Amino acid sequence: MSFSVGALRGSVGGARGIVDHRLARRMLISEVKKGRVRVESVCDAHPELIRAARNVGTQTSTQCPICEVADLKLVTYVFGHGLPAQGHCVSTAKQMRKLNDRAGEANAYVVEACIECRWNHLLRVLPVGGR
């Protein structure tokens, strides 16, 4: 099996795929629990991400793996041609459907965030649009 640039980016032969970061998440949490990585270095979410999580994030039933106090929230940002350089924060299913119906290709980045301790981690990257 060979790895091309397209394969590493999640697209081969025009097909785009999902890039899942759960394995990296598990490894990072394990390193924090073992004391090899400082909590301060992983609880460093940007204030805008915390604001988005608090105001438009999707509530989960998954407890924060670091502070174990609050449940995590999911925030989705979409980046692509014709969208703002800082991305578009998607807060409703209707907004996501509209973006998915676009002709141009974009990527949705799903991030989990804890509004208590500021833990954050990229969970997955999904293809959007390009229909």
Secondary structure element (H or E) that encloses residue 123, with its range: strand 120-129
Residue 60 lies inside a defined structural domain of this protein: yes
Residue 13 lies inside a defined structural domain of this protein: no
Q: Environment class of residue 120 by beta-carbon count within 10 Å: exposed (0-12), middle (13-18) or buried (19+)?
A: buried
Structural domains of the chain, count: 1
Structural domain that includes position 102: 19-129
What average pLDDT does the chain have? 90
Residue 77 lies inside a defined structural domain of this protein: yes
Residue 2 lies inside a defined structural domain of this protein: no
Residue 54 lies inside a defined structural domain of this protein: yes
DSSP letter string, 38-64: -HHHHS---HHHHHHHHHHPEEEEEEP
The DSSP 8-state label assigned to residue 119 in this structure reads: -
Residue 4 lies inside a defined structural domain of this protein: no
48-74 pLDDT tens trace? 999 999 999 999 999 999 999 999 999
Does pLDDT of 39 surpass 60?
A: yes
Does pLDDT of 112 surpass 70?
A: yes
Q: How many CB atoms lie within 10 A of CB 7?
A: 13
